[in-house]
Amino acid sequence: MIQDQRKPSSWSMAWVPVGLAAVMTPAILLAAGGAGSSGGFDEVVHSIEQHYHVHATRIPFMGLISFIAGRSTHGGVRGLHVAEIEHFEGPVDGEELTALVQQHAGTGWQRMVRETSRGGVEQSLIYVRPEGDHLGMLIVERDTHEMNIVQLSMNPDKLSDEIDKHHHHADSDADRNEDKDEDKGDKSKDQDGDSD
């Protein structure tokens, strides 16, 4: 009788795939649809792959990661897309790269920052665009041997609120530790006093 109670019923077993589907569907949809709706990101990555004959590695489950990032920052960051190109060797013409990104980024993007170092070996491009109450950012960064392409949408207000919360927690933890230390100090003083 007791053994029967411990066995999961067929009814409850049926909920497992349903639960999994409920969890995975938004993640898969975000992974597939998110990249498509972001417009420029996939096109930028694809154009770089084609132009420089390189292969970009997309981070798996980026949609899920983006979803978690959005939840954990209470909407501070969303629409996260990352692609990494390793073994990106050879010279890159900065003007050419900028034109390529500009051409495929899509509408509304404005190049805010461009940094070039060491004769063009290192390049950073930051594009921004207003996305409602969020700021869309498209970052293309080329290091000596690799290139990273990141797109995200962030709300600086929400993000700074989150950071402030963490600062607040860190400060209160530090205060608590200080109080503890002081208490310990007082106790040891008392003990010293008693021994005297």
Partner 1 sequence: MKRSGVWASVLALGMAVVGIVGARGQDQLPAPSPIEKELAARANHVTEVTLDKNMLAFAAKFMKDEDDKEARDMIQNLKGVYVREYEFDKENSYTPQELEGLRNYFKTADWSPMVRERSKGEAMGTDVYVKLVNGQMEGLFVLDAEARELSLVLILGPIDADKISKLGGNFGIPKGVMKRAEKKEAGK
Binding mask 49-88 toward partner 1 (x if CB under 8 A, else -) reads: ----------------------------------------
Closer residue to partner 1, CB minimum distance, 59 or 99: 99
In the complex, the smallest distance separating the C-beta of residue 130 from partner 1, rounded to whole angstroms, is: 5
Q: 188 — alpha (psi -120 to 50), left (phi > 0) or beta?
A: alpha
Q: Which residues within the stretch 149-188 sit at the binding site for partner 1 (CB under 8 A)?
A: 156-157, 160
Contact call for residues 82 and 64 (beta carbons, < 8 A): no
Site size toward partner 1 (CB under 8 A) is 16
Closer residue to partner 1, CB minimum distance, 21 or 112: 112
- Token output for 116: 């070039």
Q: Which residues within the stretch 92-121 sit at the binding site for partner 1 (CB under 8 A)?
A: 110-119
Q: 165 — alpha (psi -120 to 50), left (phi > 0) or beta?
A: alpha
Give yes or no for residue 128 binding partner 1 (CB under 8 A). yes
Cα–Cα distance for residue pair 59/149, rounded to 1 Å: 11
Cα–Cα distance for residue pair 36/87, rounded to 1 Å: 26
- The site for partner 1 (CB under 8 A) is made up of 110-119, 128, 130, 135, 156-157, 160
